[in-house]
Structure 1
Amino acid sequence: MTVPTTSASDAVPQTLADRTPVTRRRALYAGVAAAAGAAGAGLAWWRLRPAPAQDGAQQAVWTQVFDTPDGARLDMAGFSGRPLILNFWATWCPPCVEELPMLNAFYRENRSNGWQVVGLAIDQPSSVRKFLTRLPLEFPVGLAGLGGSELGRSLGNLAGGLPFTVVFGAKGQVLHRKMGQVTSDDLQRWLALR
């Protein structure tokens, strides 16, 4: 019986040049895919980042008046003087719907510390009313419709994407703007802004 022997060259790992053409091609494709993914993520961030707010947009927020789902009036002037999270959302927007319970919990936990939350629904009033029967919110909601879209654009949401959130300080100045879904880390950072 013979025992197979291995030569010293068999024990040495292959270098990239020694790999088969298929293996090299796979490595090349993986590198190209990774580079394309990074470029795509960078482009998406660049396109979706909030633009600078238009002149007078911050002041215009405090002059807005919206109807509420229950038929009352939501006068934004009443929210000046304390920090405010202004969230633009819609019932047909899955990330919006997903973040609403977290925003509601934030409001419940921090309103005694002066924090306010207002949701501006960029949606049909009937859809918002129906939605709020399934998921009641403690913070005020305004029926903003197309006017809310324009307000969002003036605050830097040129793409018109949702959700879009603007954090105002107690003096009415914009402290932060975010395109996309709010996270618990965002809320913790914003608590420190005031």
Structure 2
Amino acid sequence: MNNRTRWLILVLVLGVAGVVALWPRDRSPEPPTSNRPAQDVAALRAQAQLRPCVPGGEGGVDVTCLGDGTRTALALKGPILINFWATWCQPCQEELPVLETYAKQPGAVPVVPVLVESREADGLELLARLGVRLPSVFDGADELRKQMKAPMRLPTTYYVAADGQARLITDPLYFSTPEQVEKAVR
């Protein structure tokens, strides 16, 4: 094999590698599913002791209520604070107890944590460990996040006003005190 043939083969291999690397792929994530038996998830639900989800009615996005496993329509009617989080997200783990503390205050806007990019059972375990009892939902198919055109960063929080207008909260990027939450929902 002469040098010209070797160079031709090298160029062809690099060309094929470049095409494979740049070829478009379906980036839609598969909804996470739990490998745990149903009775384990039921036990985790009991351990988490989440407050019941409020049925949203017509026009909402179908999600799973983490507290009891039922499908419910989460309507984007405010005032409400919607918080997207995942179990692997460290700032989310710090923010969830802050949201719980805020939600216990008189006159607080209802807070709905929305679990994404995680397994349902793992979310229940984390909420139980953190002592967060907020009525929480699981958006395994990412439908709510898509409808809200939410950025893929986590945590992501929206304030939905009484007129249905959703406002992305960017200051702060995540809450570290209940006072920050109170200020964001004014």
Task: Bin the TM-score by the shorter chain.
Answer: 0.5 to 0.7
2:65 matched to which residue of 1? 68
Q: CA deviation at 1:181?
A: 1.6
State the TM-score, normalized to the length of structure 1: 0.56
Q: CA deviation at 1:114?
A: 5.9
TM-score normalised according to structure 2 size: 0.58
**Percent of matched pairs sharing the same residue:** 27
The alignment partner of 1:92 has SS state of coil
2:125 and 2:176 mapped to 1: Cα distance?
26
Q: Determine if the alignment matches structure 1 residue 162 to structure 2 residue 183.
A: no
- Conserved 8 A contact 1:118-1:142: yes
Unaligned runs of 5+ in 2: 1-58
User: Which of 129, 133, 139 lines up with 1:134 in the alignment?
Assistant: 129
**How far, CA to CA, are the matches of 1:85 and 1:119 in structure 2?**
8
1:115 aligns with 109
| Alignment-derived partner of residue 101 in structure 2 | 105
Match of 1:187 among 177, 181, 185: 181
Q: Deviations over 1:47-90 (max 9, x none)?
A: xxxxxxxxxxxxxxx5112112231334313x72x411100001
Aligned-residue offset at 1:95: 0.1
Q: Distance in 2 between matches of 1:137 and 1:72?
A: 19
Whether contact under 8 Å (1:121, 1:144) holds in the other structure is yes
The one-letter code of the counterpart of 2:61 is Q
1:188–1:96 Cα change, 3 Å: same
Provide the rounded CA distance (Å) in 2 between the counterparts of 1:137 and 1:74: 20
Larger radius of gyration, structure 1 or 2? Answer: 1
Partner residue of 2:138? 143
1:176, CA displacement in angstroms? Answer: 3.8
Call closer, same or farther: CA 1:180–1:75 in 2, change over 3 Å: same
Equivalences, count = 125
Aligned to 1:133, the other structure's residue is in SS state helix
Corresponding residue of 2:81: 85
Question: How far apart in 2 are the matches of 1:74 and 1:120?
Answer: 13
Deviations 1:114-167 (A, max 9, x none): 61100100111121122222123232111112x33x533543434x11000000
Q: Which amino acid in 2 is paired with 1:71?
A: G
Following TM superposition, by how much is the alpha carbon of 1:186 offset from its aligned partner in structure 2, in angstroms?
Answer: 3.2
**SS state at 1:85 partner:** strand
